[in-house]
A and B are shown apart, each in its own frame.
Chain A
Amino acid sequence: MTRFFAALAGLCLAGAASAASPLADEPLDPGKAFRPHARLVAGEPSATGSERHGIDVEYRIEPGYYLYRGRLRFEVSPPTLLIGPPELPPGTEIEDEFVGKSAIFRDRVTIHLPFVVSVAKPGRYRVKITAQGCAEGRICYAAFPQELEVNIPPGYRVTDGASPPVHRGLPR
């Protein structure tokens, strides 16, 4: 019984100290609140039966934080690897009396960056992301940059023929 009350008192005092501490609830650095990972998608089946080729960017978002769907921007460097418009899930719609409707992502989301050429030159590429998000009811992060690396191995080739190859140079 004594131990029970002592433990209870300890827990309550710890809780009180945590509630009273001014820095107990420091917002996370955006790199920790919004953690992106990039993965090469090579010939995986899509919902329509065709093959998917591109880069999947998966975001893991901490509880209490969200990303704005409409404010994500992607760029691949060097730009010799061409990507099409990002394929974003619809997200959760929120309504704001001033901004109107917008969509946000919480928890986890995967964004697909499709290759628009049928052959991707092997090499290391950097995916440059610009994102905006908020810690619910406290602060919002002004546009912040993030960078990921993707490696396209030698021999990688898109084979589904869904995207016609882009011919460069003078016509034969």
Chain B
Amino acid sequence: MKGWLPLAGIGLLAALAGTSLFLAGRHAAPPVIESGPVDATPAAIQAAAFADADGTPRTLAQFSGKVVVVNFWATWCTPCREEMPGFVKLQSRWQARGVQFVGLAQDDAAKVAAFGRELGINYPLWLGGAEVMTLSRRLGNRLGVLPHTVLLDPQGRVVESRIGIYQEEALEARLAAITGR
């Protein structure tokens, strides 16, 4: 009879620990999706051509020297839109510290423009064709999904490739680590 008491205690403790970890897991950030290898040089990344809402050609070379947060998204992608209000706040807070956000989408120009206005997006939303997802895949998006966020250092090198929602707090911590501020 006495023999099972310690085991019962261990069982109860494990149950409590397991339950609390499980509950914590449910409320914590979504699990990180492993990204694939990066197959693009800084020169290739900066040479990729896009267009802004007015149709003016754009490349990431214009942000050379800054930490660039490249966000691959689409207007129809609900998880993409969940993370964007956080990006707007971070762009405001980190602009003066040399951080630049850019949204890249293979989407309808009018929809993107309307979306940018309605959500008060304070960073450029550029458009492209199939090359948008091609670049995304070359930057580690092995699943070909959205959202996908890539952090480039001031030399244009990939510092991080994140598949799935990038939560504001986690991204801010990463920016602080990259910029050393």
Contact = CB atoms under 8 A, between A and B. Distances in A.
B30 A138 contact: yes
B34 A140 contact: no
Contacts of B54: none
Interface in A1-57: 1-2, 4-6, 8-16, 19-27, 29-30
Given A134-B77, A140-B76, A19 B21 contact: yes
B53 interface: no
Contacts, number: 123
Interface residues of B, number: 46
Given A26-B33, A27-B33, A139 B145 contact: yes
B146 A99 contact: no
12 contacts: A4-B11, A5-B4, A9-B13, A9-B14, A12-B22, A99-B76, A102-B76, A134-B77, A134-B79, A139-B33, A141-B143, A141-B144
Interface of A: 1-2, 4-6, 8-16, 19-27, 29-30, 68, 71, 96, 98-99, 102, 132, 134, 137-142, 144
Given A9-B14, A29-B143, A137-B78, 17 more contacts: A2-B7, A5-B8, A9-B11, A9-B15, A12-B17, A14-B18, A16-B18, A26-B33, A98-B75, A99-B75, A138-B164, A140-B76, A140-B80, A140-B146, A141-B144, A142-B136, A144-B144
